[in-house]
Amino acid sequence: MSYLTEKSSYVLGLAEGYDLDEKKKKNRILYELIDLVDEMANVIDELEERVDMIDEDLTYLEDEFYDFLDYEDDYYDDLDEFEDFEELEFENEETVEE
């Protein structure tokens, strides 16, 4: 339960503790606002959960991506070792005909 949900429950408890009559216009507005705040708090909680799930997925993808880049860098670093060799040319190159 998040802070907003707790706070909206607290305010609802206060309103109920004062034993306000919901049928009166002024009190009805107060109860409607409390309900609105409670719904907003629940939606925010759901969105925070979704953001956390997306963040976990993104963290996984970043780890996979950067692991791949590290592998790719290591692979190309290994290939760079072969660049030190000189290319050999043969003087007498004959074409073999079949």
Please report, for the chain, the start and end positions of each structural domain, with discontinuous segments joined by +. Answer: 3-81
For the chain, give me the number of helices (H) and strands (E)? 2, 0
pLDDT bucket at 96, cuts 50 / 70 / 90: low
The whole-angstrom separation of Cα 9 and Cα 26 is 20
Cα 55 from chain centre: 2
What is the maximum span of the chain, computed from C-alpha positions, in angstroms?
108
When pLDDT is cut at 50, 70 and 90, the band that residue 88 belongs to is: low
Q: What is the pLDDT of residues 6-31, one digit of tens each?
A: 998 999 898 888 888 888 888 888 89
Q: What's the rounded mean pLDDT across residues 37-58?
A: 94
φ, ψ (nearest 5 deg) of residue 36? -60, -45
pLDDT, average across residues 66-94: 67
